[in-house]
Structure 1
């Protein structure tokens, strides 16, 4: 029977009303199903709550009642949503205007349908598990929730930003924790037009709920002489006079530092000098059963892996202090012994290496969606339905908060390096950009601008920065902004540390364990507890007292994982930040960056409500977009494979619902050969092979960066300014300046997307699958993407490549951006030319792209003349968004929108009535309309001649 909403509606004073079966309880937000349990840890209650027409919250617990903790991520709905309840003998359903969620009265399993009756996604039978856990006196559950795979063609994206260069997470495994270069967000979106937000802050796993196993736990191991039980490790020192060490290794697990001995790596020989050495692990493995074995390699220095005499991992490199993980799979035959070898060249005295594995799983189970959480109150997730993938992400932001409009200057170019050591370096660098006429909006002052022994003082070292206020004023006089690095870290000798500590707001164990950092002799420090609301207020007040009077424009929140010590195991990372104000870190492990962002965003808006907040953070979490926060991909390496990995990392981060992402153009951690190449150039003036590659790597990375949501360069030496990378007559210099200018030419287009991101919950950096979901070929493409709805961007990520394959999706014509020529009717892969100075860049039919005047900074001038390119072949729309660029008046309706539409059948462009207004708005302007068609190709140019249209805010139609 169907029970209308009003039948079960609660009176304001009522708590619970019974509805139909005695197993079912009803309240104003949904229903609770009470289940008969066979075992103590079986589910007792399943609750469905309506959080919107397309959003259903699902909670499940073995307890007699649900926990009352408020979500750190999800905001309370602003209004109630009407729904109906339907019952059968075996099920009960919630029905909204868009979805139906059905619960089995026998098992509590939940299925989700659209209103046509199509099953969208379903919990798997018996796919819900609870295991009691108690940490530091707090009780909870380790949980798992599995969903059935309805289609192998489904694509699933999101989970944050990871570095293994995986794109479609269907059938994949990923551990969700925060670490330098790894940002975990427990949200996914599916090509079947739904999303799942897993509301957990603990260590989580996607896919396989178990941890990776040691090789000896899965395979029989044999050393190089055939003896069972271990592989052979051969350690050859750099100094021939030192002794080569040979020993048997029953596991390859050298992945973290020893507690209490932060100079040595667990399991590695301590009496061996790893700097410059060569290490080989070799022998054979024998699988018990046939199937696909999924490996994870943890690497620093240079490493290669061979299985069955095949190179399964070509050379990879990471700096010694910041290892990376890489995943690969190998099919093995049960009972067959195959050779294995790891070649390793450590590049530091402390070195890390690891190889672990998952044994084969049932293929159907592997393809299922599975969430595992280490410590939660119970199972708590949100099902979000949408008309398309954009609509799903809109639902996610409805739950977790809208993204504010970023300040316009943030859309421009940012220059940074590790690090500007003096006031003179900062000002002279910015002045050099202005002298050369290279556009720039933001210069960044990194860590150690304070005195060496005063981390956390928020005070400049006056010996190197004698006049901080004067420096900031000069930057502003040069029409630029300044961002400053602020860490949640404090040396114990600072007054700020003492202020936190007397209130119990500092983590104790780092001090008790005498963890010292890498600065000078090494200083003792800890991080503040961002989970405490009063501690967050103090953190902001200290910033407000010291930095705000200087006129600082934006905040760089580094090490916000939080990263108290590199290269420790996860348990120790948890120990270092526990207890939090909310409970054990095991339960709240992943949400620190979100709490920290809250401190700055709400703090600044409280004292300077007219100035847009801008935060850049190295870590992030679900909901961070509401705090005007962008994330960058951390201290990545300067390798071609790392550049490529940023494409899929950025795309998945965007699909995690957080729109503002960036990276260190050129990579942060630099291979020694590039450093030596630059040093040799300074000595001889000659470009050797390594410097030549360095310049090309940066050129290709800048090309990619110009079409990222935020455009910034940063990294260790060599310096990252283009005039320090290559001289003015070099093709690298020419290309970087070209794309920087192009970025500013595109400012009307880019800033309109910033408006769309707020008002329409738009996604700027878009996997091909978002706009071409029905084209199955797009579901695995993670190395090209759409920048807005117009541009197909295909970065070049191989040294010496002068072409690359590009897939052109079905449904559109595709034009070459540089020539305007039609290159494809869609539905095909073609080899695209990619000369040194240009990246393959295409525009889809139906695109309407506004280009503004040449500028040196983002708000230098109003776009009184816009070159409006219209790419024919299908209908198209675009809305030009404008406001006051730096304040929050847009929240009060102070902005304008000019709609454009193109009718391909009549070749008519309509410029609609302008909607809205704001102080300083252009009342009249000129659109130079440029038609691009297969018959009339027109490449991009600032000086293009088109059809001139005067516009004063009223609807105008133009036949092209």
Structure 2
């Protein structure tokens, strides 16, 4: 009877799939150490179970060797042992496979989660999770004349996400997406190919497929409308992972366990950046920051584009040393900026021009990629005649890192890696690791690795800031911060940004952000500029940047635009403790900072292609203004929640779309009922942040009987602060008991930290009548009830080593 049920279940699965490969003949199946090996007529399959929610399948054609080397997975140590440093992903020492049933027509491999189903004739592999079909191979692996492919069946109603950074609409089904990182200058509402192409597909049916291979190719998301997903590549591994979970956040957590968690950013990275293309001199840099200080606009960093190493835009790339004519006291400038709370970041590129000061040294030290005769490969592109650093040579890696080390020793606090697709990368160029096409997509990825590992080795207590224009799957583990490239300075350019950032967060690169205000073109539009910066408050990195014909810095805009931009920037700083918790959640669980609303309603098909509003973390719902001159905007509010207008405290029931009147000084922003939102005191840079003086806003509503939130804090700069016990976690809990509202404060203090005394203003929203009685730790106190805005303010001192209880009795 048991085997009959399995057979009937298998028939159900195969009824949902079709198009099996008739030429592939099953021969045998065997299990060893959580690995299944299947021999077929044209090769063999190796199926590796990482845990009950992550499975890897590799096909090795006859005559080929199996390579375990992966650009994406955290660490492979050898062929038999998988060592994972990210949150102790289950290794092969644990028993994951519960049973292998091998019958005449089929075989089943069962775990407590994923099940693999093998149909023997015609041969087919399919996958299910907790009894529900996920996906099945269609043709499986097929070698064509120019491309190797892996083909899968899709269900007709699946919505597909992934493929990296694209502007295509949230649902990317129907597109054949090239996997070849390439800049798209001046794009707006549609861009099929951009700087970050990722070999990842996510389905509205809650699974992910990651194709674990670096060489270039295509990701065909049913472009022929025949319910087929196809991965196409020129060469490399025929390996993919299927990843599932009980929620969208579970899937992303599992994927980032597999490919690595993003390290904690330094806290200053959450502040405002001053940036343009570009600052020509020391005087211009310091003068710009002086303008910020004069206007009392907070700023944490300034980014120097290519003029720090040369006077001209062309002919100087590759100098990578301070141009003293324009920056005679570079070190003094960096020091003075630091004393004002402002970090310095310098641009670098991997191209060494033949006209640059380092060309002869690069040739002498043999750090450049080669041509077929073994000479440095030279070619022309926009900036001049160039060679490309071959970061795959250990000697070249060290040569390049020494430049960064020298800059760090000069006080430079962050790295900007530009043109790292690489922007021009001839196919016949040869790297130590392979051809240009074999490593093109992972060049930016490994460039970030080079810097990340250099900091770990030479500056182990520093959290690096690594801004990169290109990367690949798994790049988040090297601390890579992506941006969406040279977007046009138009409303169309702004409209594509939420989609791009949300999608990238789903694919592990949670810090995708845009040049605020737009980069390309001389469009002076203050309304667009302000609306883009207001959106930027709720995107991962706040960095206005543009070509210099129109200023990107608020201090050089009109008085009205400057005032509105200042208001947005000040809000960004007020939200610093909330945003830092998002950094922690991403580091620990892979949670995106920006989240689509279908995460709240995974069965609401109307939300599958919706990106006009999104969640910033768990508790803030944001609806950016993406069109010019509009006075009203429709906003969808996630159901099963009450939402508070952040500015007015008006409450709105979830599960509906409402037309919201717009204001020029803000965008529609809402707080989930039951949320605790910590607000920082005013500051001019994150160095002025005081984690011991906060407002804690609680959004009280009778529909929320119990609520709990946690907020992580550390010094904002020490690497591995959490792992070494140098942290605190503030815990807030609210409960409604009859006519009492009880709010409890508790703290977890790291093993290498001390408890602190905190000055807290607890502000409770939606208190419509003056309370009858208020107690703190059992003692009655008098507090301020504001009848006009229905809020209650309770000032208190909290020693975090002690538990604190606030009780409010209503009349």
How would you bin the TM-score normalised by the shorter chain?
0.7 to 0.9
SS at match of 1:575: coil
Q: TM-score, normalised by structure 1?
A: 0.72
Aligned 8 A contact 2:215 2:438 in 1: yes
**Contact 1:109–1:123 under 8 Å retained in 2:** yes
- State the TM-score, normalizing by the size of structure 2: 0.85
Confirm whether residue 653 of structure 1 aligns to residue 504 of structure 2: yes
With over 3 angstroms needed to count, the CA separation of the structure-2 counterparts of 1:494 and 1:108, relative to structure 1, is farther
Matches within 5 A, 1:294-693: 361=224, 363=225, 365=226, 367-368=227-228, 370-451=229-310, 452=312, 453-494=315-356, 496-502=358-364, 504-508=366-370, 515-518=379-382, 523-545=384-406, 547-564=407-424, 573-575=425-427, 578-671=429-522, 674=523, 691=524
What is the root-mean-square deviation in Å for CA atoms of aligned residues? Answer: 2.7
Distance change (3 Å), C-alpha of 1:202 and 1:65:
closer
Equivalent residue for 1:89?
A: 104
CA distance in 1 between counterparts of 2:756 and 2:588 reads 23
What is the deviation of 1:670? 1.2
Change (3 A) 1:844 1:162: same
Corresponding residue to 2:538 among 707, 714, 721: 707
Mapped to 2, the partners of 1:556 and 1:912 lie a distance apart of: 41
Which one is further off, 836-845 or 390-399?
836-845
Deviation at 1:508, TM superposition (A): 4.4
1:497–1:506 contact (8 Å) kept in structure 2: no
Once the two structures are superposed, what CA deviation does each residue of 1:564-613 show, in whole Å capped at 9, x if it has no partner? Answer: 3xxxxxxxx4426x222222233333111101111111112211111111
In the alignment, the residues of structure 1 paired with residue 466 and residue 44 of structure 2 have an alpha-carbon distance, to the nearest angstrom, of 41
Closer, same or farther in 2 for the Cα pair 1:921/1:481, shift >3 Å?
farther
Contact 1:30 1:94 in 2 (8 A): no
Q: Is the 8 A contact 2:59 2:239 kept in 1?
A: yes
What SS class does the counterpart of residue 427 from structure 2 fall into? helix
- Pairing 1:855–2:683 present: yes
CA contact (8 A) 1:33 1:108 kept: no
Deviation digits for residues 732-754 of structure 1, max 9, x if unmatched? 22221111111111111001111
User: Alignment partner of 2:747: what SS?
Assistant: coil
Query: Residues 449 and 188 (structure 1 numbering): CA distance in 2 closer, same or farther, change over 3 Å?
Result: same
User: Deviation string for 1:316-347 (max 9, x for gaps)?
Assistant: xxxxxxxxxxxxxxxxxxxxxxxxxxxxxxxx
CA distance in 2, matches of 1:934, 1:104: 63
**2:631 aligned residue:** 802
Residue in 2 that maps onto 1:718: 550
Cα distance, 1:197–1:877 mapped onto 2, change above 3 Å: farther
Number of the residue aligned with 1:878 = 709
Change (3 A) 1:942 1:810: closer
Q: How does 1:131-210 map to 2 (within 5 A)?
A: 131=144, 133=146, 142-149=148-155, 152=157, 154-164=158-168, 166-181=169-184, 182=194, 183-207=196-220
- Mean Cα deviation higher: 551-560 or 582-591: 582-591
- CA positional deviation for 1:441: 0.6
Is it true that 1:927 corresponds to 2:747 in the alignment?
no
Contact 1:862 1:922 (8 Å CA) reproduced: no
Shift of the 723–936 alpha-carbon distance from structure 1 to 2, 3 Å rule, reads farther
Q: Would you say the 8 A contact 2:177–2:218 is kept in 1?
A: yes
**In structure 2, do the counterparts of structure 1 residues 959 and 574 end up closer, same or farther at CA, with 3 Å as the change threshold?**
farther
Superimposed CA distance per residue, residues 457-477 of structure 1 (whole angstroms, 9 cap, x where no aligned partner): 221111110011001001101
Shift of 1:719: 1.3
Q: Which runs of 5+ in 1 are unaligned?
A: 3-20, 37-42, 134-140, 210-357, 565-572, 675-690
**DSSP 3-state at the match of 2:687:** coil
Is the CA contact 1:900–1:909 (under 8 Å) kept in the aligned structure 2?
A: no
Report the Cα offset of residue 838 of structure 1.
Answer: 1.7
Q: Compared with structure 1, are the counterparts of its residues 893 and 96 closer, same or farther at alpha carbon in structure 2 (3 Å cutoff)? A: farther
Q: Give the distance between the partners of 1:760 and 1:959, measured in 2 at CA.
A: 33
User: How far apart in 2 are the matches of 1:942 and 1:634?
Assistant: 43
1:56-105 Cα deviation digits (max 9, x unpaired): 00112332554225011112343323123321323333333322222223
**Contact 1:62–1:130 (Cα < 8 Å) also in 2:** no
Q: Where does residue 895 of structure 1 map in the other structure?
A: 727
Q: Distance in 2 between matches of 1:762 and 1:916?
A: 23
Relative distance call for 1:670 and 1:380 in structure 2 (3 A) is same
| 1:609 partner SS | coil
**Quick check: 2:728–2:753 contact (8 Å CA) kept in 1?**
no
1:645-674 C-alpha deviation (Å, 9 max, x unpaired): 111111111111111122111111114xx3
How many angstroms apart in 1 are the aligned matches of 2:151 and 2:393? 30
Secondary structure in 1 matching 2:254: helix
Whole-Å Cα distance in 1 between the matches of residues 59 and 378 of structure 2?
Answer: 42
Judge conservation of contact 1:697–1:799 (CA < 8 Å) in 2.
yes
Indicate yes or no: 2:643 matched with 1:814.
yes
- Map Cα deviations across residues 337-388 of structure 1 (whole Å, 9 max, x no partner): xxxxxxxxxxxxxxxxxxxxx7xx3x4x2x44x1322223352100111111
Q: CA deviation at 1:143?
A: 1.4
- Conservation of the 8 A alpha-carbon contact between 2:180 and 2:217: yes
**How many pairs are equivalent?**
732
User: 1:400, 1:623 within 8 Å by CA — same for their partners in 2?
Assistant: yes
**Aligned pair partner of 2:136 in 92, 112, 122:** 122
Could you tell me how far 1:881 is from its partner in structure 2?
0.5
Distance 1:518 1:170 in 2: 35
Change over 3 Å in CA distance of 1:537–1:89 after alignment to 2? farther
Matched residue, 1:24: 29
1:879 deviates by: 1.1
> How far has the Cα of 1:902 moved from its partner?
3.1
CA contact (8 A) 2:768 2:790 kept: no
2:622 to 793, 798, 801: 793
Task: Give, in whole Å, the separation in 1 of the partners of 2:393 and 2:153.
Answer: 35
1:127 CA displacement: 4.7
Measured after TM superposition, the shift of residue 48 of structure 1 is: 0.8
Is residue 369–residue 376 contact of structure 2 (8 Å, CA) maintained in 1?
A: no
Q: Say which SS state the counterpart of residue 439 (structure 1) adopts.
A: coil
**Residue 698 in 1 paired to residue 542 in 2?**
no
Cα deviation digits, residues 262-299 of structure 1 (max 9, x gap) = xxxxxxxxxxxxxxxxxxxxxxxxxxxxxxxxxxxxxx
- Structure 1 residues 425 and 740: alpha-carbon distance in aligned structure 2, compared to 1, 3 A threshold: same
1:99-114 maps to which residues of 2 (within 5 A)?
Answer: 99-114=114-129
Question: SS where residue 892 of structure 1 aligns?
Answer: coil
Change (3 A) 1:902 1:559: same
Structure 1 residues 885 and 821: alpha-carbon distance in aligned structure 2, compared to 1, 3 A threshold: same
Q: Which moved more, 1:930-939 or 1:848-857?
A: 930-939
**Offset of residue 171 of structure 1:** 4.0
Over 3 Å counting, the alpha-carbon distance change for 1:504 and 1:69 in structure 2 is farther
Residue 189 of structure 1 and its aligned partner are, at CA, apart by 2.9
| Range moving further from structure 2, 410-419 or 67-76 | 67-76
SS in 1 for 2:359: helix
Q: CA deviation at 1:942?
A: 14
